[in-house]
Amino acid sequence: MNRSGVFGIAAVLATTAVAQAQMPVERGRYLVDTIMTCHNCHTPRGPNGPQFDKALSGGLRFNEAPFDVTASNITPDPETGIGKWSDADIKTALRDGVRPNGTHLAEVMPTGFYKILTPGDLDGIVAYLRSLPPINNKVPDPVYKMQVPHQVFPDSEKPMPEADLNDSVKRGFYLVTIGHCLECHTPFGPPGTGIDYQNSIGKGGREFKGPWGVSISRNITSSKEKGLGDWSDADIKRAIAQGVRKDGTKLKPPMGFGHYVKMTDGDVDAVVAYVRTLPAKE
């Protein structure tokens, strides 16, 4: 094994050891504030970007054909947030997409990616949400217009064993999954079939409208012509953490580079290692 391989493995092991050593609240804060990009939807946006003085108190509105919903207040406020929810209620909402009253969350909430969460990480997320200052902010009630299929991301149907996080590619898959990266970077299939993970995973091409204008998700497969096949690892890391493409142009939200910049080097390296495995799609 060459020296770079040794150092790569050492970086993953060191990152995994740090994650395991973190207190639950610290681990939850790290996940929520970085790879999971919860602030992208659940924190209000002002003219200058996210209003972190009102962090996670309810944010973006999604008025689409199946639903008209606003991202929930997930602070511990008992009246307008999740202060009256039990730990089990929060975990059920994350893993199964069901509120305590039995209603399903809109599919814009990426619950189909969260079944892979390790028990320790799930506990950490709950602990962190409990630690937030309660903010009284009533968001509009959801309006559901039609049923849409609930998709669970392939190979994420159950919690990942903690030991698997020591493997760089598996750790990258875990992070990319809880970050629901391939939700945005994979196009829809025929009407009524949902996102086409089977045939077009990572192909990009979806449009996202918001305060930033219109963004089109990039092909992140190993295709040299359409994807990232001719990008170096450093190019990909710069795009993830700084929002800058290989050609120097800037990325737009909802790409969460403003949150990814706070990830550890080991975690970003793991994400790159997994993305490198995506088959080329033209």
pLDDT band, residue 148 (cuts 50/70/90): confident
Rounded CA gap, 209 and 196, in Å?
20
Q: Is the pLDDT of residue 16 over 70?
A: no
pTM: 0.91
Residue whose C-alpha is closest to residue 108's, from 159, 148, 51, 56 = 148
pLDDT at 15: 52
User: Per-residue pLDDT for 17 more than 60?
Assistant: no
Percent of the chain with pLDDT over 90: 85
% of the chain at pLDDT higher than 70? 93
Whether the CA torsion 274, 13, 263, 19 is positive or negative: it is: positive
Give the residue among 97, 48, 53, 49 at the shortest CA–CA distance from 72: 97
Residues with Cβ within 8 Å of residue 151, at least 6 apart in sequence: 107, 112, 194, 195, 197
CA distance 282 to 222: 9
Work out the mean pLDDT of the chain and round it to a whole number.
Answer: 92
Q: What is the pLDDT of residues 191-234, one digit of tens each?
A: 888 999 999 999 999 999 888 899 999 999 999 999 999 999 99
What is the dihedral sign for C-alpha 269, 270, 273, 274? Answer: negative
User: Helix axis angle, 265-275 relative to 3-21, nearest 10°?
Assistant: 120
Split at pLDDT 50, 70, 90, the class of 57 is: very high
Q: What is the mean pLDDT of residues 45-49?
A: 84
Backbone angles phi, psi at 49, to 5 degrees: 110, -160
Domain ranges of the chain: 3-275
